[in-house]
Amino acid sequence: MVRALTHKGLFIVIAVACGAVMFGPCAARAVEEPQPVGDAPIKVSASRVEYYSDLALVIARGDASVELPDGAAVHGDVFLMDLRQQRLVVAGHVTLSTRDGTHSGAAFADFLAFKRAYFIPLDPADRWTYLASDYAHPQLGRQMPGDAFFLTGSGGHHPYVVGKSAIIDPNAYVSFEPAIVDVLDVLPTPPLPSYVDNFSSDPSFGQNSLPGATLDAPYTFYGTAHSLDAFHLRYDQSLPVKGYVAYEHHAVFGDQGYAVFSLVPATQPDKQWNLLAYDPAGPDDAFSLQAQLFTTQSGFAEPTSANGFVDLRLLHVLRQSSLEVDATDMYDTLLGQGQPDHPSIVGLDWSSFDEPVWRTGIELRLRSGIATIHDAFGVGSSRRDVLSEHVGATAASPVLSGPLGFGFNATAGAMRTWLDFPNTIDTATFAVSAARALAPRVYSTLTWSVGTLDASSPTQVVVSPNVTTGLTPTPLSPNGLPVFGVPSIYRRTTARTYALIGSWQPSPEFQFSTTVQKTAYSPVQLPAPLAVTATARMHVMKSLYLSVGRSYFFNFEGERWSPQFVLQVTGQ
Amino acid sequence: MNARLIAAAAGALVAIVLAASPLCSMRADAAPVSAAPAPLIASGQVVDLERGYIVFATGDAFKLDQAVRIVDDRTGTAPSYPIAPGVFASITIDPATALVTDVRTSLDPLAEGMPIAQIPRALVSVASAPKRNPDLAPPKGMLHSQLSSTVRVTIDVEVPPETPLGDDIYITTDSSGWNAQAIKMQRVNGRHFRIQVDLKAGTQFHYLFTRGSWQSVERARSGLARDARTLFVPGGDSMVLDATVYRWADIQ
């Protein structure tokens, strides 16, 4: 009995010992979690500073001097900053200067996200760890990660930017003064006074207020963690002087807030001044502003003409719907010439979310609104103020499987708008599509859509970008429907569009798509072409893709090929 | 008496288990210095060579013998390049004196001998007694490298019903500088688009769907601006990601 108990005790001791080994001393060790790295930048200067955007590396060689965000200065032969790991290394004949003294050594590494720095002094050789920038009290002899001072190689890549000094914000940007930029990895620019590469994960930096152009080459010359300034060298075939310079400024507030200002073209008399802003006022509210000013002026002299508009919106989210207040002011002229048109619209719009209808799979969205429109038909009209009200709904089916592998879906929308003079405008759209995979990675979609506009007084239809009027032009609107600036003279107009879309992606490196589209208006207004468009997109180098596209028109007033190829090089 | 013997045996067993634990025995500090006089050879990346020391990227410094021989690994002659931080070297250490007697350098990594981190700590020049640092938490996702496997990522997206039938759908990413047309998708049917891309395991980026411009970027279901989506490729052969766009910024 005693022996049996003893054996059992031995087993328990061993089990406890194994448990202690597995979960005891090792699991009890402290683990430090990374903390967000602030906006204070790191400043680097050296004989040569290189930025590898693909590798997220900044490498400086030859008398590298580094100023850290905590005020310490480090000098050495080589500097390396890994932007992904937010880790920097200074190696070779290192001098570390802090407010608590100067030390010389072999290497210094700062793991910014952990607020921990490692230093190898050489008089004599030792290991020092600085915690939370406490340079007065180095932790002596502490172990370091095996790759604490590892200098990542560039692996034969070409540097994207080369200069002699750089400012680095590990979260947002690298700024060089001066800079030589390797365009498309093959064409180095002449030395530029400065260059900023913004790699922030904040999408507000992507917002832009520039109109389209055939070619746009941005030159970002100044940036911080919250701003970006760029000149754009542009080419636009539709302008009398096709080449011009535009300027754009981004301000990013965080939490999705931003303001973007642009002046385009800055180098021609007819100028467009744009301002976009978005500010979330809380979890359920947001303001947005869009303002445009159009001037004709030589340089920045007094303009000979000026007009513009401003649109301010407040969106408030309810439980399963949203409310939007929209105020729009348009100024026919801002120079006090005569009696200008000054249409202004203020209104309120309610819109539900897409809600499922029982278990049918159909989604339904409802909307309604009311708006008051001042100067709706110009200063010469007898009707200066108009009240509009609208109700509408959109229903959409899911994609339903049909015979022979086809998938079908349909969308229908209808809206009625009442203007109080009175006028009634009905818009309706219906679209149905059938799609089928013809082979692996080859898809075809056939669509048919019809849109109608019914107006009891067709020449007095107000079309506005203000959403609360219920008369907002939508991208679906073909000619004959309420397109901004193109009122219909017919009481009822219809547009029908047929399209066959094919797409093929044999590999991630190549895509091909083609569209055959025919539109018919009833009654006939503008010519409606039958067009075939083909676009190919292919990988050309590094992460750059080239898109080539062109259209061919049948029976379109003698025009056959679209005026030019669409060529586009994009980074991916 | 019997119980004492058993307790002693258990204690010894615990000590053996502790010593053999793979979780706690990885430290090289406790490794004994080889009594054999045979020289040790190790290689790694050099971060400094000055004041009689050669220092490696691990932070390990080694005292150089006054008669140390420094040659290029390929030619066997004095290196024609500066021994700057980042070059690679294999060193020969005399265990009796803990001095480096021979250094062979290269611009490419060398696989000669043991890794520097495995050299017995008694041979490394450290003035202070070794102590442990708190561990650093590993990154949330691994970072991709040239050695990472390539993963075929398929992204499927359902678009809202009011999406114009003739429009293309794109993905804008932070890795492309938020280019609104960075990745073009293929139309699969009236409501769905798809794209396949090859990405390295460990890749992470933020993205949003657009119809080709920032005026037509996706919004949250409420109509408010939404946070960027995050794509992380953990590894494996392939990965499928389903997404839904509820609204576009330019369509009410």
For residue A173, the model assigns a pLDDT of: 93
From A499, A543, A570, residue closest to B166, measured CB to CB:
A499
Q: What is the pLDDT of residues A58-73, one digit of tens each?
A: 999 999 999 999 999 9
More confident: A552 or B88: B88
Mean pLDDT of A480-508: 71
**Are the Cβ atoms of A32 and B135 closer than 8 angstroms?**
yes
pLDDT band at B226 (very low <50, low <70, confident <90, very high): very high
For residue B244, the model assigns a pLDDT of: 95
Based on the fold, state whether residues A542 and A436 are members of the same structural domain. Answer: no
Distance between CA atoms of residues B179 and B212, nearest Å: 9
ipTM for the assembly: 0.84
Share above pLDDT 70 across residues of chain B, in percent, rounded to a whole number = 81
A123-132, A420-429, A493-502, B34-43, range with the lowest pLDDT: B34-43
For residue B7, the model assigns a pLDDT of: 47
Distance between CA atoms of residues A182 and B6, nearest Å: 74
pLDDT(A424) > 80: yes
Show Cβ contacts of residue A101 under 8 Å, excluding neighbours closer than 6 positions: A135
- Dig out the tokens for A486 from the structure: 């193109």
For residue A36, the model assigns a pLDDT of: 77
Strands A305-317 and A544-556: unpaired
CB A51 within 8 A of CB A159: yes
Contacts of A93 in chain B (CB under 8 A): 48, 50
Q: Does A265 reside within a domain?
A: yes
**pTM score of the predicted model:** 0.82
Mean pLDDT of B102-126: 90
**Are the Cβ atoms of A92 and B246 closer than 8 angstroms?**
no
Q: Mind telling me how many Å the CA of A382 is from chain B's nearest CA?
A: 31
pLDDT(A15) > 80: no
Based on the fold, state whether residues A212 and A135 are members of the same structural domain. Answer: no
> Which candidate, A149, A174, A2, A159, places its Cα nearest to that of A79?
A149
Q: Does A407 reside within a domain?
A: yes
Based on the fold, state whether residues A119 and A147 are members of the same structural domain. Answer: yes
In a mutational test of the A interface, the residue from B99, B184, B197 whose CB has the highest number of chain A CBs within 10 Å is B184
Q: Does A325 reside within a domain?
A: no
Based on the fold, state whether residues A162 and A282 are members of the same structural domain. Answer: no
Mean pLDDT of A15-36: 56
Q: What is the pLDDT of residues A492-505, one digit of tens each?
A: 778 888 999 999 98
Q: Mind telling me how many Å the CA of A71 is from chain B's nearest CA?
A: 24
Mean pLDDT of B80-93: 93
Show Cβ contacts of residue A457 under 8 Å, excluding neighbours closer than 6 positions: A421, A423
Residue of A nearest to B204 (CA): A84
A167-181, A474-488, B199-213, B231-245, range with the lowest pLDDT: A474-488
Distance between CA atoms of residues A169 and A151, nearest Å: 20
- Dig out the tokens for A552 from the structure: 């061919």
Q: Measure the CA angle with vertex A95, ends B62 and A98; round to 5°.
A: 125
- Dig out the tokens for B62 from the structure: 């080694």
**Cβ pairs bridging A and B (under 8 Å):** 329
Q: Measure the CA angle with vertex B204, ends B198 and B207; round to 5°.
A: 90
More confident: A562 or A105: A105
Q: Mind telling me how many Å the CA of A69 is from chain B's nearest CA?
A: 21
A152-156, A388-392, B172-176, range with the lowest pLDDT: A152-156
Mean per-residue pLDDT over chain A, rounded = 83
Count how many residues are written for chain B. 252
> Which candidate, A264, A260, A229, places its Cα nearest to that of A244?
A264
**Are the Cβ atoms of A111 and B136 closer than 8 angstroms?**
yes
Distance between CA atoms of residues A371 and A359, nearest Å: 35
Contacts of A570 in chain B (CB under 8 A): 176, 179, 181-182
More confident: A543 or A511: A511
List A residues 223-252 in contact with B (Cβ-Cβ < 8 A): none
**Are the Cβ atoms of B61 and A571 closer than 8 angstroms?**
no
For residue A227, the model assigns a pLDDT of: 94
**Are the Cβ atoms of A125 and B55 closer than 8 angstroms?**
yes
Distance between CA atoms of residues B125 and B60, nearest Å: 7
Q: Does A285 reside within a domain?
A: yes
Q: What is the pLDDT of residues B153-167, one digit of tens each?
A: 999 999 998 898 888
pLDDT(A278) > 60: yes
Counting the structural domains of chain A, the total is: 4
Q: Does A319 reside within a domain?
A: no
**Are the Cβ atoms of B177 and A317 closer than 8 angstroms?**
no
From B24, B63, B84, residue closest to A92, measured CB to CB:
B84
More confident: A273 or A155: A273
Last residue of a domain, one of A244, A276, A299: A299
For residue A280, the enclosing domain spans 200-299
Residue of A nearest to B58 (CA): A146
Based on the fold, state whether residues A423 and A480 are members of the same structural domain. Answer: yes
Distance between CA atoms of residues B193 and B186, nearest Å: 5
Distance between CA atoms of residues A427 and A391, nearest Å: 11
Check if A205 contacts B (Cβ < 8 Å). Answer: yes
Based on the fold, state whether residues A473 and A550 are members of the same structural domain. Answer: no
Q: Which residues pair with A234 in a beta bridge?
A: A216, A244
Q: Mind telling me how many Å the CA of B143 is from chain A's nearest CA?
A: 8
Based on the fold, state whether residues A522 and A532 are members of the same structural domain. Answer: no
Amino acid at A271: K
Check if A127 contacts B (Cβ < 8 Å). Answer: yes
Share above pLDDT 70 across residues of chain A, in percent, rounded to a whole number = 83
Based on the fold, state whether residues A430 and A462 are members of the same structural domain. Answer: yes
Contacts of A498 in chain B (CB under 8 A): none
Q: Does A556 reside within a domain?
A: yes
**Are the Cβ atoms of A139 and B252 closer than 8 angstroms?**
no
For residue A527, the model assigns a pLDDT of: 65
pLDDT band at B26 (very low <50, low <70, confident <90, very high): very low
> Which candidate, A101, A42, A89, places its Cα nearest to that of A69?
A42
CB A54 within 8 A of CB A160: yes
Based on the fold, state whether residues A510 and A390 are members of the same structural domain. Answer: yes
Query: H/E element holding A543?
Result: none
Task: Work out the burial of residue A453: count CB atoms within 10 Å of its CB; fewer than 13 is exposed, 13-18 middle, 19 or more buried.
Answer: buried
Mean pLDDT of B45-58: 94
Distance between CA atoms of residues B222 and B230, nearest Å: 20
Last residue of a domain, one of A299, A314, A339: A299
Contacts of B178 in chain A (CB under 8 A): 203, 205-206
**Are the Cβ atoms of A13 and B214 closer than 8 angstroms?**
no
From B2, B174, B198, residue closest to A200, measured CB to CB:
B174
For residue A445, the model assigns a pLDDT of: 94
For residue A568, the model assigns a pLDDT of: 63
Share above pLDDT 90 across residues of chain A, in percent, rounded to a whole number = 43
Neighbours of B238 (CB within 10 A): 10
Written as one string, the DSSP assignment of B64-133 is EEEEEEEEETTTSS--SS---TT-EEEEEEETTTTEEEEEEEESS----SEEGGGS-GGGS--SSPPBPP
CB B70 within 8 A of CB B90: no
**Are the Cβ atoms of B137 and A32 closer than 8 angstroms?**
yes
- Return the SS3 of A569: strand
pLDDT band at A14 (very low <50, low <70, confident <90, very high): low
CB A113 within 8 A of CB A35: yes
CB A270 within 8 A of CB A297: no
Distance between CA atoms of residues B55 and B46, nearest Å: 6
Q: What is the pLDDT of residues B123-162, one digit of tens each?
A: 998 888 878 777 777 666 556 666 667 889 999 999 998 8
Check if A61 contacts B (Cβ < 8 Å). Answer: yes
Q: What is the pLDDT of residues A295-310, one digit of tens each?
A: 998 888 888 888 888 9
Based on the fold, state whether residues A515 and A369 are members of the same structural domain. Answer: yes
More confident: A364 or B202: A364
A44-48, B24-28, B72-76, range with the lowest pLDDT: B24-28
Last residue of a domain, one of A145, A168, A191: A168
Mean pLDDT of A199-208: 91
Q: Does A220 reside within a domain?
A: yes
A123-127, A468-472, B98-102, range with the lowest pLDDT: A468-472
Based on the fold, state whether residues A425 and A487 are members of the same structural domain. Answer: yes
For residue B21, the model assigns a pLDDT of: 42
**Are the Cβ atoms of B136 and A145 closer than 8 angstroms?**
yes
For residue B31, the model assigns a pLDDT of: 46
From B2, B24, B181, residue closest to A6, measured CB to CB:
B2
Q: Does A552 reside within a domain?
A: yes
CATH of the domain at A149: 2.60.450
Mean pLDDT of A80-96: 93
Based on the fold, state whether residues A384 and A510 are members of the same structural domain. Answer: yes
Amino acid at A163: G
